[in-house]
């Protein structure tokens, strides 16, 4: 899988705790709705399985998220934040 990614456009990242919790919840819903034996096995061994999952993050999106986070930390209003995002998206 990793060998087929366009590394110029995306990064392959480990899941953070929030993502891992979300994924476990989605898998639990999937088991409940479909009876999936595979998802059930993954959840039964979750501490060992969670490390096998990765997040594919588009670089441009990551840059915009970073700009938004810094703007929020600086207390910028929505218009100023949008200006910063537009600047960042131009490269």
Q: Give the residue numbers spanning the domain of 32.
A: 2-89
Query: What's 5's DSSP letter?
Result: S
Q: Say how many domains are in the chain.
A: 1
- What stretches in the chain show pLDDT beneath 70? 91
**pTM for this model (two decimals):** 0.71
Q: What is the pLDDT of residue 91?
A: 61
**Over the chain, what is the mean pLDDT?**
93
Q: Rounded distance, CA 81 to CA 71, Å?
A: 6
Residues 70, 67, 7, CA angle at the centre, nearest 5°? 130
């Amino acid at each position: 899988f990793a060998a087929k990614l366009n590394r110029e456009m995306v990064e392959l990242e480990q899941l953070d705790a929030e993502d891992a919790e979300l994924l476990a919840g989605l898998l639990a819903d999937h088991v409940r709705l479909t009876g999936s034996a595979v998802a059930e096995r993954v959840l039964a061994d979750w501490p060992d399985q969670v490390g096998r999952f990765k997040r594919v993050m588009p670089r441009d999106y990551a840059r915009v998220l970073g700009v938004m986070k810094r703007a929020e930390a600086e207390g910028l209003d929505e218009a100023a934040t949008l200006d910063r995002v537009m600047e960042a998206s131009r490269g």
